[in-house]
């Protein structure tokens, strides 16, 4: 499962893509951050949505897509009582960070670690 997690971050949610999508704008809570196109949900298997912005911190929620193909991800959804999207990781991005790139890399590493701890 680690390969699936790493592939998502490499192709769909690289720090550059994530930073581009959340810097200089405030996404609406619940709105899609990445992947941008809903048609990519099955291929990406995961997605990142915006959470609430509290002060200078933009919360993000990473979840398994209901269209995920991986048997391990389908099992995660079933075992955790989710018929659709299952939350795997949450994090927050400091929108006023002195080094936004460093902050987004910290966030990505934290969310990736949360994912791996839940699904392997």
**Non-local CB neighbours of 5 within 8 Å, separated by 6+ positions:** 112, 115, 116, 119
Note whether 44 and 8 are within 8 A (CB).
yes
47 by DSSP, 3-state: which?
strand
Kindly report whether the global pTM for this prediction surpasses the value 0.75. yes
- Render pLDDT for 47-102 as a digit per residue (tens, 0 to 9): 999 999 999 999 999 999 888 888 888 888 888 776 566 789 999 999 999 999 99
């Amino acid at each position: 499962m680690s390969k699936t997690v790493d592939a998502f971050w490499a192709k769909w949610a690289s720090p550059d893509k994530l930073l581009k999508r959340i810097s200089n704008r405030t996404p609406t809570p619940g709105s899609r951050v990445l992947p941008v196109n809903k048609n990519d949900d099955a291929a990406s298997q995961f997605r990142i949505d915006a959470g609430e912005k509290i002060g200078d911190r933009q919360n993000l929620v990473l979840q398994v897509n209901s269209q995920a193909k991986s048997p391990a991800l389908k099992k995660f959804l079933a075992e955790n009582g989710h018929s659709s999207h299952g939350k795997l990781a949450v994090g927050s991005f400091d929108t006023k960070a002195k080094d936004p790139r460093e902050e987004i890399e910290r966030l990505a590493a934290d969310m990736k670690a949360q994912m791996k701890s839940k699904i392997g």
